[in-house]
Structure 1
Amino acid sequence: MNGFVIGGVSSGVGKTVATLATCQALADAGYAVQPAKAGPDFIDPSHHEAVAGRPSRTLDLWLCGEDGVRRNYHRGEGDICVVEGVMGLYDGDGSSTAMVAEALDLPVVLVVDASAGMESVAATALGFQTYADEIGRDIEVAGIVAQRAHGGRHEQGIRDALPDDLEYFGRIPPTPGLEIPERHLGLEMGDETPVPLEALREAADTLEAERLAAVASESPKPDESVHTEPDPVDARIAVASDAAFCFRYPATLERFRERATLLTFSPVAGDPVPDCDAVYLPGGYPELHADALESAGTLAELGQRASDGLPVLGECGGLMTMSQSLTTADGECHEMAGILPADVTMHDRYQALDHVELEATDSTLTAASGEHVRGHEFHYSSAEVGSDARFAFDTVRGDGIDGDHDGLTEYASLGTYAHVHPESGAFETVLERLDS
């Protein structure tokens, strides 16, 4: 599958809107589009899927490793893969957009804010192109999309200023209808606030779809000689899936379906906990649904099942709901599942944001003693833990729960602030434990 990467000159330049407009332009031209996201984000991919009709692939070198990134890329379907970058093109030491483009050997289409410039837009793009050589990155900045650019003289001035080896792929006009509302943790989810189709098509019409399709190139496949797909296990995995538990990678659900029986349930709706061998509580927005979670009864049942030995794995929002209580930013305290000896409080500012590395201090759900697990943390909450709390991990990188540790463990359950990808091997450990 051919593809290209949409990189930005900085955060906030409009990569997501440019990506959605590009997906729409290519789809309108008759191409089947596979979206993807460089970095660990859950929210931008929800908008990708709403437009392209396919789950967006997660491409993060820290989470997945180079072969894992290539495997996840090639598990996509379609004619062209459009990869949205993270932050500015070269930003990030764990897995920058440039690092992902290099690992996949894909060209970069650079999004440049053109709202107040013409020749300066070309100068900025040229600087990003030549900087790759300066730092020894083997990537090709093939051209630009001019974000917030008007037509007529403004557009022509940008075209004329670009050097011959930088293509002009079109512009995104300044359209208020294309702005996606934000809240803590980023944009609102794609199924909550989809980009209006009329405004998106207006932006897509100003992009040059055939030029974009022509620049896409084939990515090398992973070295499968060092990778063996594990056998299925006789296990039933129940995954919480609703507006409070919406941060899960498509690859995680794929892995569960391939190796076990996957069941879903909604704690917000009060669904009973399914007959299962383990429960996975992904991250999301439990703080926005704390009333429903407290009153629905599912968490109380889950707490009882966990105390009887049912393994429950919670990530971030999952950790929050496994705790004794959750206090929202307005000071309201809500009773949660009571599996873990912790009380969680929401804050106005984020408490942690980074790629993380954890070392297991003992054998736990997702790792054997001494093993390292890589993940990502981004949360606005903090957890006050009891004096008898037991941690499963030391933090090698990141903040974890208390700055030095992550992974509260109780009964056969584990709650962590770290989100992990199946390429980390963590979910394989869960499945092998259920099969033993």
Structure 2
Amino acid sequence: MATAPGLLISAPSSGTGKTTVMLGLLRALAEDGLTVQPFKSGPDYIDPAFHRAAARRPAFNIDTWAMPKSLIGGISEQSQGADIIVAEGSMGLYDGVATRGETGFGSSAETALKMGWPVVLVIDVGGQAQSAAATALGFKAYNPNLPFAGVILNRCASARHERLARLGMDQAGISVLGVLPRRGDLTLPERHLGLIQAVEHPDLEQAIQGYAAFLRAHVDLNAIKAAARAGPTTTGALPKPPAQRIALAQDAAFSFTYPHILTGWRNAGAEILPFSPLADTPPATDADLVWLPGGYPELHAGRLAANTAYLNGLRRHARSKPVHGECGGYMALGEALIDKEGTRHQMAGLLGLVTSYEKRKFHLGYRQATLQAPMPGFGQGARLRGHEFHYSTILEEPDAPLALVGDADGNPVPETGSIRGHTTGTFFHLIAEASA
């Protein structure tokens, strides 16, 4: 299937403003009457919800480390009917893992190369002027095969500052696609895992409208459109559902599910039955599977522990049918969760896991797992790829291990997941089956 022309918004590092640029650009192009397809490079599971709100079209992750070619092809097909594709990178443009003994595997640059999207580099020029051109030139020259559209200069302090920065870019032969003045209000609220969830933003629509107006005033949208290029023809398939009727926890405590997974389930005819543990709603009694995704259960542990209708429904289901949890969902299936104040909250008790946020420990990175027992949708021996990101400390994980788990380089990690009866859980968020 031929794809729409696209480009990728990236930066030298995190914190340069590329997400606000991305959201403003998505909405500005949509306001111009274009159907805009957003993508996110890498494993981030928060940004796609913001992208969806800005473009008014579902956003998807593309991950060149975790996803086989067939899955990337299936995700690419979701751009059918779009006029333009805009993707957002993760971290710095060339930041990736070193699994192949080289830098950049799984990086935004690799995504851009694979998809044929020219890169727009967002550079924070605060504290520098012509020197920013050396940064841009280095990023352009680091991989001469990477299509490079130009730069957007962010946090420019004055007309003189802009003139000097442009002078450097002209000398380096770098196209300047926009210059954004410094504005302190163009930031998104954050918490310890990064951005807050889109559903928690106090006025997301107003914020996106402001970003779009700001981008429209300071970026050459026609030059952006002209820079987009179509990638190769792609075909593929999305993940198959692990059951026909899937009760899916969906609320502020449980919201981190990759869009390509849910779309694959729905496209294959599975029925997604949302329920809210925070609203004390039990899973549907006729569901074949209960799935608790990641999220922020630690922020709502007291409410979850007190919601007996939800807990009793979950326990009743687990007596005879499968229940699976990822990260925050895994914690909620455990025996107890200790919040940052040291208060112990009783969880579902379907697994023996006890986690603590009083004793914080940072867990971040890709995960590859070989299942030692079946879990919903996958048999024993299946090889899975996913991503782990949380700050909880494991105090007890007494059940049988679900998988042999390693990092991106194959080094073992202690978070093996658990299985007890019909209940399974993992700390990693599933992205794909490695052999799919």
**TM (normalized to structure 1)?**
0.89
Q: Which residue of 2 aligns with 1:269?
A: 279
Q: CA deviation at 1:386?
A: 5.0
Q: CA deviation at 1:62?
A: 2.0
Q: Which residue of 1 aligns with 2:119?
A: 108
Q: Which residue of 1 aligns with 2:418?
A: 408
Q: Which residue of 2 aligns with 1:433?
A: none
- Which residue identity is paired with 1:98? A
Q: Which residue of 1 aligns with 2:300?
A: 289
- Which residue identity is paired with 1:78? A
Q: CA deviation at 1:251?
A: 1.6
- Of residues 76-85 and 96-105 in structure 1, the stretch that sits farther from structure 2 once superposed is 76-85
Verify the 8 A CA contact 1:132 1:139 in the aligned structure 2. yes
- Which residue identity is paired with 1:177? D
Verify the 8 A CA contact 2:28 2:213 in the aligned structure 1. no
SS of the aligned residue for 1:111 comes to strand
- Of residues 18-27 and 68-77 in structure 1, the stretch that sits farther from structure 2 once superposed is 68-77
Match status 1:44 vs 2:47: yes
Q: Which residue of 2 aligns with 1:311?
A: 322
1:217 to 220, 226, 229: 229
Output the CA distance in 2 between the equivalents of 1:95 and 1:371: 22
- Which residue identity is paired with 2:149? A
Match status 1:249 vs 2:258: yes
Verify the 8 A CA contact 1:50 1:191 in the aligned structure 2. no
For each residue in 1:155-210, what CA deviation from the matched residue of structure 2 results, as whole angstroms up to 9, or x when unmatched? 23323322475221102222122111211111112222226245313421211111
Cα 1:345–1:179 shift into 2, 3 Å: same
Match status 1:126 vs 2:133: no
Cα 1:229–1:350 shift into 2, 3 Å: closer
Verify the 8 A CA contact 1:38 1:83 in the aligned structure 2. yes
Q: CA deviation at 1:27?
A: 2.4
Match status 1:55 vs 2:58: yes
Output the CA distance in 2 between the equivalents of 1:57 and 1:281: 20
Output the CA distance in 2 between the equivalents of 1:234 and 1:197: 37
**Paired residue total:** 417
Verify the 8 A CA contact 1:278 1:312 in the aligned structure 2. yes
RMSD, aligned CA: 2.5
Verify the 8 A CA contact 1:340 1:408 in the aligned structure 2. yes
Output the CA distance in 1 between the equivalents of 2:89 and 2:167: 27
- Which residue identity is paired with 1:184? H
SS of the aligned residue for 2:248 comes to strand
Q: Which residue of 1 aligns with 2:311?
A: 300
Q: Which residue of 1 aligns with 2:100?
A: none
Q: Which residue of 1 aligns with 2:101?
A: none
- Of residues 362-371 and 37-46 in structure 1, the stretch that sits farther from structure 2 once superposed is 362-371
- Which residue identity is paired with 1:267? P
Q: Which residue of 2 aligns with 1:373?
A: 384
Cα 1:342–1:349 shift into 2, 3 Å: closer
- Of residues 54-63 and 97-106 in structure 1, the stretch that sits farther from structure 2 once superposed is 54-63
SS of the aligned residue for 2:136 comes to helix
2:373 to 362, 381, 396: 362
Verify the 8 A CA contact 2:338 2:358 in the aligned structure 1. no
Q: Which residue of 2 aligns with 1:432?
A: none
| Percent identical residues | 35
Unpaired stretches in structure 1, ≥5 consecutive residues? 429-436
Verify the 8 A CA contact 1:91 1:97 in the aligned structure 2. yes
Verify the 8 A CA contact 1:175 1:199 in the aligned structure 2. no
SS of the aligned residue for 2:246 comes to strand
Cα 1:358–1:326 shift into 2, 3 Å: same
Output the CA distance in 2 between the equivalents of 1:188 and 1:88: 21
Verify the 8 A CA contact 2:371 2:402 in the aligned structure 1. yes
**TM (normalized to structure 2)?**
0.89
Mapping 1:22-421, distance limit 5 Å:
22-76=25-79, 77-93=81-97, 94-133=105-144, 138-150=145-157, 152-163=159-170, 165-193=173-201, 194=204, 196-197=207-208, 199-204=210-215, 205-224=217-236, 235-259=244-268, 260-274=270-284, 275-347=286-358, 349-385=360-396, 387=398, 389-397=399-407, 403-421=413-431
For each residue in 1:35-90, what CA deviation from the matched residue of structure 2 results, as whole angstroms up to 9, or x when unmatched? 11111112222221221112221111122123422321331352111111001100
Cα 1:29–1:69 shift into 2, 3 Å: same
- Which residue identity is paired with 1:170? G
Verify the 8 A CA contact 2:415 2:427 in the aligned structure 1. no
